[in-house]
Amino acid sequence: MATTGLQHVAAMYAGVVAPPLIVGAAIGLSATDLTFLTGACLFTAGLATFLQTLGVWKIGARLPFVNGVTFAGVAPMTAVVASTHDKSDALPVIFGAVIVAGLLGFLAAPVFCKAVRFFPPVVTGTVITLIGVSLLPVAFNWAQGPDPAADDYGSGTHLGLAGGTLLIVLLLRRFTRGFVKQIAVLLGLIAGTLVAIPFGATDFGPVMDAAVVGFPTPFHFGTPQFHLAAILSMCVVMVVSMTESTADMLALGEIVERPADERTIAAGLRADTLGSALSPLFNGFMCSAFAQNIGLVAMTRIRSRYVVATGGGFLVLMGLCPMAASLIAVVPRPVLGGAGVVLFGSVAASGIQTLVRAGLDKDNNVLIVAVSLAVGIVPITAPEFYHAFPETARIVLDSGISTGCVAAVLLNLVFNHLGRDTDAADVTHPMEAGTELTGAATGTAAPHAPATP
């Protein structure tokens, strides 16, 4: 149980620590505060995993379901940071927005599991693709070095370290099997850090200064602040997160041969949203399901939820050990950049896989994807495009994920729902292409086609 639980931690570790690294770097946190934020995210990921796997009352899907910091919130959070004049207020504003979005999501969970048909693969695939595309520039910036103002920013040494790390990850994924293959990104980070030592790019100071035992003190970065624009932005992220979690629950239910019904989905969404609402109390971010761990369940055929709960226990212990959390602060930015290309690119590839199942042979779906991607990529390709808009509006508009998601949902409603028979064959089940909503007219649940991990 311990070794298989650790394998789940290894599969999702890089995904948990990446968001606090990105947001912390955008704010300009010190190494000590960055270590604290990373540890807090590990701790809250463990608590959210407990809530999802073990369950309390009607909360928790009670499936082998790993929860952690969602990538979907990274771009909106960095937009909040960019729009905040006093960077010390950025995290309190983010935490306040996550709390409100989590509580609203918790109340909406029973309704959302019924309304999820308005988020078919053409919508979720577009949003997941935008998440990956929005994060790739972060990896490219990391690859050039930690300080854009430094003389060696973008030097051959930094780019070489990034390229070498990327090569190591690719070789491990290609020529290894099983557990080693699953933790290829983590091994790549370790190898890249060791290679960087002779170049003087590695700083072990954060580890030497970190305590062995610590606790993520509530509201360490300040009392949560509630700004409307940030709340709206995180509410959009919550909708995206709930949609992804629903898809993951449907897939995982098929893998463990316990199909996720409406009650299971509602309980799982309550765990996601409540975990997100509680996370900021301990300085963590919004939590959601980790799809890579679903693939791990399918590969190992170990279906016990208690194994995943054991992994959650390891995450909590790591969060309570600042020295363990500080290890990620040792990794040079160029090394993180090399691994980030794989990590963030895989998110985009996952979205493309979802779009392939969306039925792109239909002209309407092609149009939805085309326009939504264009709207979502605007803040990446033309960062000053919305410069004439009010600053509060730019928090939402400068997040390509938020604007792309809204565009995809609205276009899907216009082209695939309004004025059309919802039993039509081209209106697909929210997570499975080609499954008709045969129960829409009678109020009964539509049958699910077998899901894939």
pLDDT values of the chain reduced to their tens digit, one per residue, 453 residues:
887 787 788 667 767 888 898 898 888 888 788 888 988 999 999 999 999 999 888 898 888 888 888 877 887 888 888 888 888 889 999 999 999 999 999 999 988 877 767 778 888 788 778 877 877 887 898 899 877 888 888 899 999 999 999 999 899 988 988 778 767 777 888 899 899 999 888 877 767 777 778 788 898 898 999 988 889 888 888 887 887 787 778 767 777 878 777 888 899 999 999 999 999 999 999 988 876 677 667 666 778 889 899 989 999 988 898 887 677 667 888 988 888 888 778 778 877 888 888 878 888 889 999 999 999 899 888 888 888 887 667 767 777 777 888 888 899 989 887 766 544 444 444 444 444 433 333 344 444 444 444
Closest CA to 26 of 138, 169, 163, 102: 138
Residues 273 and 290 sit within 8 Å (Cβ to Cβ): no
Q: What is the Cα–Cα distance from 422 to 428, expressed in whole angstroms?
A: 9
Give the structural domain span for 217. 2-416
- Which residue type does 339 have? A
Give the model's pLDDT for residue 424: 44
Number of domains in the chain: 1
Q: Where are the alpha helices (DSSP H) in 363-445?
A: 363-381, 391-397, 400-416
Q: How far is CA 284 from CA 40, 234, 292, 319, 387, in A?
A: 5, 14, 21, 11, 30
Closest CA to 394 of 149, 224, 227: 227
Is residue 436 a part of any domain in this protein?
no
| Helix (H) / strand (E) containing 68 | strand 67-69
Give the model's pLDDT for residue 80: 87
Is residue 353 a part of any domain in this protein?
yes
Is residue 333 a part of any domain in this protein?
yes
How many Å is the Cα radius of gyration of the chain? 21
Give the model's pLDDT for residue 329: 67
Beta bridge pairs of residue 288: 68
Q: How far is CA 362 from CA 127, 279, 365, in A?
A: 19, 41, 6
Give the model's pLDDT for residue 443: 40
Q: How far is CA 312 from CA 52, 185, 252, 276, in A?
A: 10, 20, 18, 15
Is residue 102 a part of any domain in this protein?
yes
- pTM higher than 0.75: no
Give the model's pLDDT for residue 295: 63
Strand-pair category, 287-289 with 67-69: antiparallel
Q: Which two tokens stand for residue 259?
A: 């199909």
Beta bridge pairs of residue 68: 288
Give the model's pLDDT for residue 271: 92
Is residue 438 a part of any domain in this protein?
no
Q: Which two tokens stand for residue 267?
A: 């309980």
Give the model's pLDDT for residue 265: 87
Is residue 450 a part of any domain in this protein?
no
Is residue 77 a part of any domain in this protein?
yes
Is residue 308 a part of any domain in this protein?
yes
Three-state DSSP class for residue 287 = strand
